[in-house]
């Protein structure tokens, strides 16, 4: 079955450590996205990528970094510069253009203490 | 700039009652509109989408939505709510900007009373 996988489901880190969240898709989608979701809030776009080896900052990119070396993979690194990293992180992908909507992974809940 | 508003932050309905969740958008061109549902601790699932044609669209889980261009609205409806419908619902508009293609509303949390 095609879909998006995010691992792990839960992630715990100590303050000051970088952590990388995995996102893999087998939908053959060109575009991939990372969102952050805080309790009771909507989705905020961190980074997006339309094609391999290219990505753009979203609304809240500070303290985050990404890479897009393969079409299937779009890992997100939460760096120690991110002031409030504890959140629910969602990865999504879409076919080219706006017509098809986005498909979401199950999310990773990151807790930093 | 394009935007999506969902006026109701939280709605509570009784099981078996009808439901309408409101969504208004601001977008200059022809909108592509979507509704998503999110259960606690889960990702978002696409309920339905509107591209063109019939303004009443059917989705999964018994949901439907009606596009009204004159009101810039795309409200989600269900005739009889089930307890399992309790979740967060997000409206989104697909734009024609190369790059950031989608704008999401803030979400409406639905609670269902037994």
- pLDDT confidence of B2, banded at 50, 70, 90? confident
pLDDT per position as a tens digit, A25-56: 999 999 999 999 998 778 999 999 989 999 99
Pair B70, B95: CB distance under 8 Å: no
Q: List, as ranges, residues 36-95 from B with C-beta within 8 Å of A.
A: 36, 41-46, 49, 51, 90, 92, 94-95
In A49-68, the residues whose Cβ lies within 8 Å of chain B are 50, 56, 58
pLDDT at B15: 97
Q: Which residue of B has its CA nearest to A10?
A: B41
Q: What pLDDT does A19 receive?
A: 95
Flag whether residue B101 sits within 8 Å of chain A, measured between CB atoms.
yes
- Contact between chains at A48 and B105 (C-beta distance less than 8 A): no
Q: Which among A42, A88, A94 has CB closest to B101?
A: A94
Q: Cα–Cα distance between B91 and B59 in angstroms, integer?
A: 13
Tell whether omega for the bond before B41 is within 30 degrees of 0, i.e. cis.
Answer: no
| Chain A residue with Cα closest to B43 | A106
pLDDT value at residue A49: 93
Quick count: other Cβ atoms within 10 Å of Cβ A10?
A: 10
A19-28, B8-17, B50-59: the lowest-pLDDT one? B50-59
CB nearest to B44's CB, from A40, A99, A104: A104
Q: pLDDT tens digits for B72-88?
A: 999 999 999 999 999 99
Q: What is the pLDDT of residue A40?
A: 75
Quote the percentage of chain B above a pLDDT of 70.
96
Q: Decide which of A40 and B46 is more confident.
A: B46
pLDDT band at B94 (very low <50, low <70, confident <90, very high): confident
Kindly determine whether residue A90 and residue B43, on different chains, have CB atoms separated by under 8 Å.
yes
pLDDT per residue rounded down to tens, chain A (113 residues): 679 999 999 999 999 999 999 999 999 999 999 999 998 778 999 999 989 999 999 989 999 999 999 999 999 999 999 999 999 999 999 887 666 788 999 999 999 99
For B4, name the nearest residue in chain A, comparing CA atoms only.
Answer: A42
Of A42, A97, A109, the CB nearest to B90: A42
Distance separating alpha carbons of residues A71 and A65, to the nearest angstrom: 17
- A-facing residues of B in 8-37 (CB < 8 A) are 32, 34, 36
B92/A67 Cα distance (integer angstroms): 26
pLDDT of residue B102: 82
């Amino acid at each position: 079955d095609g879909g998006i996988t995010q691992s792990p489901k839960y992630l715990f880190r100590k303050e000051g450590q970088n952590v990388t969240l995995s996102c893999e898709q087998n939908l053959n989608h060109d575009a991939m996205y990372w969102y952050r979701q805080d309790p009771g809030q909507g989705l905020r776009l961190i980074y997006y990528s339309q094609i391999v080896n290219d990505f753009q900052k979203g609304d809240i990119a500070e303290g985050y970094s990404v890479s897009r070396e393969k079409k299937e993979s779009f890992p997100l690194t939460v760096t120690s510069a991110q002031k409030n990293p504890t959140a629910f992180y969602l990865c999504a992908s879409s076919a080219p253009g706006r017509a098809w909507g986005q498909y979401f992974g199950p999310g990773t809940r990151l807790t930093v203490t | 700039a394009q935007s999506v508003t969902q006026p109701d932050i939280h709605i509570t309905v009784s099981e078996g009652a009808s439901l309408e969740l409101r969504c208004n958008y601001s977008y200059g061109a022809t909108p592509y509109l979507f509704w998503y549902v999110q259960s606690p601790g889960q990702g978002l699932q696409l309920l339905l989408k509107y591209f063109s044609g019939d303004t009443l669209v059917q989705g999964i889980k018994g949901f439907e939505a009606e596009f009204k261009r004159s009101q810039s609205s795309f409200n989600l409806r269900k005739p009889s709510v089930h307890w399992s419908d309790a979740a967060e619902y997000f409206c989104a508009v697909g734009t024609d900007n190369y790059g950031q293609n989608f704008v999401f509303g803030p979400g409406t949390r639905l609670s269902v009373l037994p």
